[in-house]
A and B are shown apart, each in its own frame.
Chain A
Amino acid sequence: MAMVYLTRKIEFSASHLYHNPALSAEENKRIFGKCNNPYGHGHNYALEVTVAGEPDPLTGMVLDLKELKEILEREITQRMDHRFLNYEVAELKGEIPTCENMARVIWNLLEPKIHQGRLFKVRLYETPDLFAECYRNGAARA
């Protein structure tokens, strides 16, 4: 099997804050620090989406990049770009929009939409120095 891994990168900008209403104001401050500012703050996110599959013998493609681009535009960019993640993204309601949680939410949005090849990994950068990855256990390459 000639498994090929294709990665597409997109960027979006959004604001968020970290706050758990079950915790006291002091605990929120202690755990989340600056990220607890009630007015929020923002990041330029970068998302790398990797799809694994064997190239179709007819087209030579794992999947049509145009199609992946449209899926990412519809599922991620339109939902998250220039939004306040806590208040405007239904899938993050009741969640703290950390990189870890967002990577999982993004995985769950994309996995059912990708029909050619299979979603292998998402890597979400909150800043160039901080990212979270989500993949299925046992699927990771070295």
Chain B
Amino acid sequence: MNGELKIVLGRRYRFAASHRLHSEDLSPEENSRVYGKCNNPYGHGHNYVVEISVSGNVDPATGMIANLTDLDGYVEREVIEPFDHKSLNEDVAVFRERVPTTENVCIEIYQRLKHFPQARLERVRVEETGNNSFEYAGEEI
């Protein structure tokens, strides 16, 4: 009740990309059983929504935690540009080794944004479709 007031700024972005869920460690039958339709060798795509939450002091001169131009530019450069209209498996290096489930996409986006200089990254939420979403807020301490 007596904690200080905390302000968090949230922003949503979008990208469209394809992926295929397939693990080299599993047999073709197991891949098919585990990933179902998502194991289709040609891949498939989604319109992803990325919701970023950042916190920090609200600058009295600007009324802002972070200037949106800076935040948008950072997210655009680190996430949207490398992911949008790409094959996550082929075009994003980390997903050559790791299955691009939306859990892993969410963690990867968090890693790419956690050093945003103007504010503290609180969490990343990724909607794979309107019905599935995933959140990551860094490692539990």
A residues neighboring B (CB under 8 Å): 18, 20, 22-23, 31-33, 95-101, 103-104, 107, 118, 123, 128-140, 142
A-side interface mostly: mixed
Interface with A: B40-48, B59-67, B86-94, which one? B59-67
Residue pairs across A and B with Cβ atoms less than 8 A apart, 24 shown, are A18-B63, A22-B61, A31-B62, A33-B69, A96-B62, A98-B62, A99-B9, A100-B7, A100-B9, A100-B58, A101-B58, A103-B7, A104-B58, A130-B10, A130-B12, A131-B10, A132-B7, A132-B10, A134-B6, A136-B2, A136-B4, A137-B3, A138-B3, A142-B137
Beta-carbon contact of A100 and B63 below 8 Å: yes
Beta-carbon contact of B9 and A132 below 8 Å: yes
Beta-carbon contact of A135 and B61 below 8 Å: no
For the complex, give the distance between the alpha carbons of A134 and B64 in Å: 13
In chain B, positions 1-46 with a C-beta closer than 8 Å to chain A are 1-13
Counting chain B residues whose Cβ lies within 8 A of the other chain, the interface size class is 20 to 34
What A residues does B10 contact at CB under 8 A? 123, 130-133
Q: A99-B9, A134-B6 are in contact. List 7 more A-B contacts (CB 8 A).
A: A23-B61, A96-B64, A101-B58, A132-B10, A136-B3, A136-B5, A136-B6
For the complex, give the distance between the alpha carbons of A140 and B7 in Å: 11
What A residues does B137 contact at CB under 8 A? 142
For the complex, give the distance between the alpha carbons of A97 and B5 in Å: 17
What A residues does B67 contact at CB under 8 A? 31
Beta-carbon contact of A95 and B63 below 8 Å: yes
For the complex, give the distance between the alpha carbons of A26 and B44 in Å: 48
What A residues does B68 contact at CB under 8 A? 130
Beta-carbon contact of A129 and B11 below 8 Å: yes
What A residues does B11 contact at CB under 8 A? 129-131
Could you tell me the distance in whole angstroms from the C-beta of A100 to the nearest C-beta in chain B?
5
For the complex, give the distance between the alpha carbons of A98 and B11 in Å: 14
A-B interface, 9 closest residue pairs, ranked by CB to CB distance from nearest: A96-B63, A137-B3, A98-B63, A136-B3, A129-B12, A138-B3, A133-B8, A131-B10, A101-B63
The chain A residue with its CB closest to the CB of B137 is A142
For the complex, give the distance between the alpha carbons of A96 and B1 in Å: 27
For the complex, give the distance between the alpha carbons of A24 and B104 in Å: 46
Beta-carbon contact of B63 and A137 below 8 Å: no
